[in-house]
Amino acid sequence: MLLAIDVGNTNVTIGVFDGTTLVHNWRLAALRDRTADELGILVTRLFETTHVQVETVSGIVVASVVPPLTRPIEEMCGRYFGRPALLVDAANAGIPIDYFPPGDVGADRIVNAVAAREKYGRGGEVPLIVVDFGTGTTFDVISRDGEYVGGIICPGIGISAEALFQRAARLPLVEVRKPDGVVGQTTVAAIQSGLFFGYVEMVDGLLRRIREEVAGGEDAVVIATGGLAGVLSSEARGIHHVEPNLTLEGLRLIWQRNRPA
């Protein structure tokens, strides 16, 4: 069994692999003041509810973009699972990185690139673009040669909705979803239209510009992941595949490449 942990700004996503099969996955709120013991109690309780024995975990791999949570996660792994965690970074991910400095690339972005390259790289025939709809929305580009060459970082759609609510006194905070039409006939529908369709057009527009700039971009395969990937990808014309567990799969691949003989 492999325990894979993706520590993001909004959620801590936890996956358990039996070999290459993801058998369980959960999401916890990424509360930055949680202690190792609090995390340990939560995670081991999740194991109990699914009848998975803690003792069966033979490896742990972690990608974290939240420094205040990285150390408690490491302590939790040692204290409750009796094993050190492999922390993913630019040096051990196993993918060439053309970014300056390489250490500035978020671990989740590297992990997504590794997973996309493994599943959709077609032996170096096409470039890849990964769109991750998380707290921020990121676009990451992998060249035909399998090199991570950079990307784009945008505010997430949830952040946009919250900012509009906080800065406009008469506008409500709305659920992000596809409205019935583009022209909203209520305030809520109008906001939803602006958020949803505006974001879809932003995604398609940025994908078009990336394709124009990257060698072989006209053939690029686009993979979406993240919490709202399924919702937004239904309208974004430039997205080819939706992989909700892309980050966990990438963590598994990186663990396999780094695990002791």
Choose the final residue of a domain: 37, 69, 87: 87
Choose the final residue of a domain: 87, 109, 137: 87
Residue 197 lies in a domain: yes
Cα–Cα dist 103/37, whole Å: 29
221 with 149, same domain: the answer is yes
49 with 157, same domain: the answer is no
137 with 225, same domain: the answer is yes
Residues in the chain: 261
pLDDT in tens, 61-87: 999 999 999 999 999 999 999 999 999
Number of domains present in the structure of the chain = 2
What pTM, to 2 d.p., does this model score?
0.94
Q: Which of 33, 89, 108, 145 is catalytic?
A: 108
Cα–Cα dist 39/42, whole Å: 5
- The torsion defined by the Cα of 236, 239, 244 and 247, in degrees rounded to 10, comes to -130
Concerning whether 108 is annotated as a catalytic residue, the answer is yes
Determine the structural domain holding residue 43 and report its residue range. Answer: 2-87
The alpha helices in the chain, defined as continuous H runs, are: 36-49, 67-81, 107-120, 157-167, 187-213, 229-233, 246-258
50 with 136, same domain: the answer is no
End-to-end CA distance of the chain: 16
Residue 204 lies in a domain: yes
Residue 6 lies in a domain: yes
Q: One digit per residue, pLDDT tens: the chain, 261 residues?
A: 999 999 999 999 999 999 999 999 999 999 999 999 999 999 999 999 999 999 999 999 999 999 999 999 999 999 999 999 999 999 999 999 999 999 999 999 999 999 999 999 977 789 999 999 999 999 999 999 999 999 999 999 999 999 999 999 889 999 999 999 999 999 999 999 999 999 999 999 999 999 999 999 999 999 999 988 988 998 999 999 999 999 999 999 999 999 876
136 with 200, same domain: the answer is yes
The kind and range of the H/E element at 12 are: strand 11-18
130 with 236, same domain: the answer is yes
Query: From the CB of residue 150, how many other CB atoms can be counted at a distance below 10 Å?
Result: 18
Cα–Cα dist 81/202, whole Å: 43
Residue 170 lies in a domain: yes
55 with 135, same domain: the answer is no
127 with 190, same domain: the answer is yes
Residue 257 lies in a domain: no
134 with 232, same domain: the answer is yes
Residue 101 lies in a domain: no
Residue 251 lies in a domain: no
132 with 215, same domain: the answer is yes
Which CATH number is 20's domain given?
Answer: 3.30.420.40
Q: Are 85 and 61 a contacting pair, CB within 8 Å?
A: yes
Paired sense of beta strands 136-142 and 128-133, if any = antiparallel
Residue 185 lies in a domain: yes
184 with 128, same domain: the answer is yes
